[in-house]
Homo-oligomer: A and B are copies of this chain.
Amino acid sequence: MEITDLDGVFCNGIKEGKLGLGLVKFNGSIAGVFTGNRIKAAPVIVCQENIRKGYAKGLIVNSGNANAFTGEQGLEDAKEMCKIAGQLFGCRSDEVAIASTGVIGRKLDVEWIRKKAPEVYRDLGNSVEHAERFAKAIRTTDKFIKKAYSKTAKISALAKGAGMISPNLATMLCFVFTSAKFEGGELYEILKRAVKPLNRLTVDGDTSTNDTVLLIATGRERVNRDVFEEELERVFYNIAKQIAKDGEGATKVFEVFVRGAMSERSAEIAAKAVANSLLVKTAVFGCDPNWGRIIASLGYSGAEVDEKITVAFENEERTVVLVDRGKILENEDKAREIMKGDFRIIVDLHKGSFEDYAIGCDLSYEYVKINSEYTT
């Protein structure tokens, strides 16, 4: 297991059926970024408030119930969760960060949490196994836990996320711990910039009400800020790829690199349009090098494009150009081979010098199965 440097970070979690509870005790600086959805879940509102002061002493996370669209009651319940955790951690309620994931619009079972929290607390520890237990407890439809680390920058990241994943976050919970020393404000600046890979990720274009990414720095070591920021972005990129890999029903991950765009914005919307296209996603699932769908999605993306586009597929071993500045090369057979595993779609718009990327996954029968049978 790649998690490392959990110095000063004590985790544990349990899962009972669809319900899960995770606790993390620490003492450090904290910064967070949250969902762009206008309907924000109660825990998101409470967490934003609690971490405003730039430090926190612990974290409580539940899975199975998003505590979203739950009005005043939801806010009370989220605060109650913080209180329960605070009593165990020996700190104030408003020194506890919080996140929830699961079904929307159901009252939270606070009594279950009140009963389980002491059990979880009792076995807190800072081993890799403890971190793994926490990560397992906060899963919903995830098939595996997401984790990444940087030895250089003393970073460990744990995440959950599989559905409702869209550009600009999703029901993605991502908790990053570092023993590096940064104050709250600086930590937020770093986080805001480095979190980009998670904003380039799309599974189904649906943005959740609960997305939460927290960066917690226990401040035990000095790390150069530039190195830290670069390593943190790499960690997020790694997590983003894992979430796409576990995209509900996904059989493979594909990345879309767009270059030669007229502006930064153009590059971004072009890459996202391709990664989000249901027709592209199903073609990827079927190993069908139907690049016409890529061209069509570039065409409606809003980016400046004309027919002089280059499209290539690439994996670790080779690159197959399908369309070269609008000229069709009839390399479908070679492209089909590449599509059997994870691969990259490279697009050159030949319009300018901007580039960006998006990370997506294919759309399979399994996605439909998972999402037509999930809640009730």
Contacts and interface: CB of A to CB of B under 8 A. Distances in A.
Interface of A: 36-40, 66, 68-69, 71, 103-105, 163-164, 166, 204-209, 276-279, 282-283, 285-286, 288-293, 295-300, 304-307, 323, 326, 328, 332, 336, 363-365, 367-369, 371-376
A367 B365 CA distance: 9
A38 B300 contact: yes
A10 to B, nearest CB: 33
Contacts of A286: 371-374
A296 B37 contact: yes
Contacts of A204: 278-279
Contacts of A372: 282-283, 285-286, 288, 364
A105 B209 contact: no
Contacts of A365: 365, 368-369
- State the main secondary structure of chain A at its contact with B: loop
Contacts of A66: 292
* For the complex of A and B, 10 pairs with smallest distance between CB atoms: A104-B292, A286-B372, A39-B299, A282-B371, A207-B300, A37-B299, A204-B278, A105-B292, A282-B372, A290-B375
Contacts of A323: 69, 105
Contacts of A285: 368, 372
A217 to B, nearest CB: 30
Copies of this subunit: 2
Given A66-B292, A204-B278, 14 more contacts: A38-B300, A39-B299, A105-B291, A105-B323, A164-B296, A205-B277, A206-B277, A206-B296, A209-B295, A282-B371, A290-B374, A290-B375, A290-B376, A365-B365
A296 B369 contact: no
B376 A279 contact: no
A296 B164 CA distance: 9
Nearest to A297: B206
A368 B362 CA distance: 10
A365 B285 CA distance: 13
A221 to B, nearest CB: 39
Given A104-B292, A206-B297, A368 B368 contact: yes
Q: Which of A36, A206, A304 has the most CB of B within 10 A?
A: A206
A220 to B, nearest CB: 38
Contacts of A371: 278-279, 282-283, 286
Contacts of A328: 69, 105
B364 A295 contact: no
14 contacts: A37-B299, A39-B306, A71-B326, A104-B295, A204-B279, A205-B205, A206-B279, A207-B296, A288-B373, A288-B375, A289-B376, A332-B376, A367-B368, A368-B368
Contacts of A293: 104, 206
